[in-house]
Amino acid sequence: AQTVTQSQPEMSVQEAETVTLSCTYDTSESDYYLFWYKQPPSRQMILVIRQEAYKQQNATENRFSVNFQKAAKSFSLKISDSQLGDAAMYFCACTTSGTYKYIFGTGTRLKVLA
């Protein structure tokens, strides 16, 4: 069975600083995908970044990047130059080609301090 664990219920960061959100996962499949989603107060789920397990290179999207450690089954999200608009819930998720199921972590609430 797949599991996704986010051990930080809440994090804070000063505006313009860098913050890292942690995520660990477990799956027995070799073909899987990892995602970070952002949920602002509007409730809409927004894809932040994605990573295919077979790619060794860490994904990057502007100020967002991941540290994908396949052997450790770790998938952390780094937000650089944090902005007030980054304040939201962030969810880590995993899906595999075999199960077609997406499993989400419990989320990390990020607060950005002015």
Q: Where on the chain is the footprint of another protein (CB under 8 A)? A: 6, 9, 33, 35, 43-45, 47, 50, 52, 91, 93, 95, 97, 100-107
The CB-of-20 to another protein minimum distance in angstroms stands at 19
Specify the residue for token string 């962030």. 90
On whether the CB atoms of residues 65 and 58 are closer than 8 A, the answer is: yes
Whichever of 74 and 102 has its CB closer to another protein, that residue is 102
13 within 8 A of 112, measured Cβ to Cβ: yes
Name the residue nearer to another protein (CB basis): 74 or 104: 104
Whole-angstrom distance, CA of residue 16 vs CA of residue 49: 20
- The residues, any chain, with a CB within 8 Å of residue 7's CB and separated by 6 or more, are 22, 24
Minimum distance of another protein from residue 6's CB (angstroms): 8
Q: How far is the CB of 84 from another protein (least distance, A)?
A: 23
Pick 83 or 97: Cβ nearer another protein = 97
